[in-house]
Amino acid sequence: MLGYLTAGILLVFLVSIIFILPKVSYKLKRRLTDGFFASISGLSAIFIIIFIIYFFIHIYILGKSHLSWEFIFSNPLDGLTRGGIFPAIIGTSLLVLIMSIIGVPIGTITAIYLAEYAKENSIITKSIRFAVNTLSGIPAIVFGLFGLGFFIGVIGKQMDNYDIKKTMNKMEILFNQQDSPFRKDGKATVPLIRDYLLKCDKVYWHTQLEQVKVLSEMNGDIEPIEKQKVMQFFRDRINLKWGQPALIWAALTMALLTLPIVIVSVEEAIRTIPREIKEASLALGATKFATILKIVIPGALPGILTGTILTISRGAGEVAPILFTGVAYYLPDLPNSFSSQFMHLGYHIYVLTTQSTNVELTKPLQYATTLVLLLMTFMLNFTAIFIRSRIRSRMSEHG
């Protein structure tokens, strides 16, 4: 009701101005027009600020009852209806960190090339700009499908094939040695295989030693088994390490998603640096690279941090690109390598909302998790904004 009333008042005000303007002086017209649009702009800004404050207060009121140290530092329990979100916090932090480390340098280097080296009308420049504009308009879910098909299906699979081939070559050499139980007639019993692997390298072959138990249950300990059958048995049970969803693939997908943001913000910052300063550096005998390193990058550092801020905000909140590339429904263990899967705050909120065993029971957890995600994003952004403002103030002090 209040919205309709406000819209009606503004419409009446606008119509009145339209009828009044032809009858007043030019100076008064300017004042009325400027005042009207200044009022509209101010009201729009105030509306946005009020909405953000209301949104944050609303989330805080509904989620504060479950916000505690135990909630932050414990694992989910009982089908996600109890417990905390510590694995999701760590997973989100690692994703944002790795994504920024990968995406920001690549985006900065690309922006430097476009602003300082590339010719504006060249085919390469036009191709790069077309690619950047295309990437910025692609839906986020498409990036997730690309990450699944390219990073996991191509790169990860090739890495796993290399590791499998390397392991099987070592096993072939091992089983062909003089003291191998297969050396006599190409067959060996399970106990002899187990003892031989223990003697050779217990640490390296620990996975195969665990699988020997399955081999014993399948074939018994008395009947000898052919070497090729044993090797095929171990080969079929080598777990995929890279050809599956993992933290590194999710971070690479998110870095690709946020790349256009970094490129545009850094390029705009570089173009604000006065040409005279760069020409003075070149006139004093500095090389192009030294000028970029000493003049351009320090001058564009606030823009680089702006791109980093936008990247962090996008990476902390996006869920679609990581659905197929690394995020897990429930994983109490923390990621211990680039090939580990991880939990994510954004996806955890989605799971609590739609996939929980008791959605009504998890509502306080949903709002508390949302509050933590907002606080985490604000803290990261405020840190980057603070660093950017300090750099700007130092640059203004030094002229």
- SS3 category, 158: helix
- What is the reported pLDDT for 8? 59
Confidence of residue 3 (pLDDT cuts 50, 70, 90): low
- What is the reported pLDDT for 214? 82
Segment 14-47, tens digit of pLDDT: 555 555 555 555 566 677 677 777 778 888 888 8
Helices 297-317 and 247-271: angle between axes, nearest 10 degrees: 140
Decide if 79 contacts 356 (C-beta within 8 A).
yes
Express as a percent the part of the chain with pLDDT over 70: 90
Cα–Cα distance between 66 and 68 in angstroms, integer? 6
Cα–Cα distance between 63 and 169 in angstroms, integer? 56
- What is the reported pLDDT for 7? 56
| Res. 2: pLDDT tops 70 | no
Higher per-residue confidence, 361 vs 103: 103
Express as a percent the part of the chain with pLDDT over 90: 17
Segment 174-225, tens digit of pLDDT: 888 888 888 888 888 888 888 888 888 777 888 888 888 888 878 877 888 8
Decide if 227 contacts 188 (C-beta within 8 A).
yes
Higher per-residue confidence, 20 vs 111: 111
Cα–Cα distance between 115 and 16 in angstroms, integer? 49
- What is the reported pLDDT for 360? 75
Triad 147, 153, 158: Cα angle to 5°:
125
**SS3 sequence of the chain:** CHHHHHHHHHHHHHHHHHHHHHHCCHHHHHHHHHHHHHHHHHHHHHHHHHHHHHHHHHHHHHHHHHCCHHHHHCCEECCCCEECCHHHHHHHHHHHHHHHHHHHHHHHHHHHHHHHHCCCCCHHHHHHHHHHHHHHHCCHHHHHHHHHHHHHHHHHHHHHHHHHHHHHHHHHHHHCCCCCCCCCCCEECHHHHHHHHHHHHCCCCHHHHHHHHHHHHHHCCCCCEEHHHHHHHHHHCCCCCCCCCCHHHHHHHHHHHHHHHHHHHHHHHHHCCCHHHHHHHHHCCCCHHHHHHHHHHHHHHHHHHHHHHHHHHHHHHCCHHHCCCCECCCCCCCCCCCCCCECCHHHHHHHHHHCCCCCCCCHHHHHHHHHHHHHHHHHHHHHHHHHHHHHHHHHHHCC
Tell me the C-alpha to C-alpha distance, in Å, between residue 235 and each of 42, 155, 224, 232, 308: 68, 20, 19, 5, 44
Segment 282-292, tens digit of pLDDT: 888 888 889 98
- What is the reported pLDDT for 396? 67
Residues 6+ apart with CB under 8 A from 366: 63, 349, 352, 353
Cα–Cα distance between 381 and 312 in angstroms, integer? 7
Q: Tokens 């909140």 label which residue?
A: 317
CB atoms within 10 A of CB 204: 13
Nearest CA to 297 among 278, 318, 316?
A: 278
| Res. 13: pLDDT tops 60 | no
CB atoms within 10 A of CB 350: 16
Segment 318-354, tens digit of pLDDT: 898 999 999 988 888 888 889 999 999 989 888 888 8
- What is the reported pLDDT for 18? 54
Segment 67-86, tens digit of pLDDT: 888 888 888 887 677 788 89
User: Are β-strands 76-77 and 225-226 bridged in parallel, bridged antiparallel, or unpaired?
Assistant: unpaired
- What is the reported pLDDT for 277? 87
The residues with which 342 forms a beta bridge, in sequence order, are 327
Confidence of residue 245 (pLDDT cuts 50, 70, 90): very high
Higher per-residue confidence, 249 vs 31: 249
Decide if 362 contacts 352 (C-beta within 8 A).
yes
Q: Hey, what are 77's tokens?
A: 């329990």
Mean pLDDT computed over every residue of the chain: 83
- What is the reported pLDDT for 29? 60
Decide if 250 contacts 326 (C-beta within 8 A).
yes
Decide if 109 contacts 263 (C-beta within 8 A).
no
Nearest CA to 110 among 293, 264, 329?
A: 264
CB atoms within 10 A of CB 72: 13
Confidence of residue 4 (pLDDT cuts 50, 70, 90): low
Task: Measure the N-to-C terminal CA separation of the chain; round to a whole number of Å.
Answer: 53
Ordered structural domains, the chain, with CATH: 80-154+243-397 (1.10.3720.10), 161-236 (no CATH)
CB atoms within 10 A of CB 88: 27
- What is the reported pLDDT for 265? 87
- What is the reported pLDDT for 248? 95
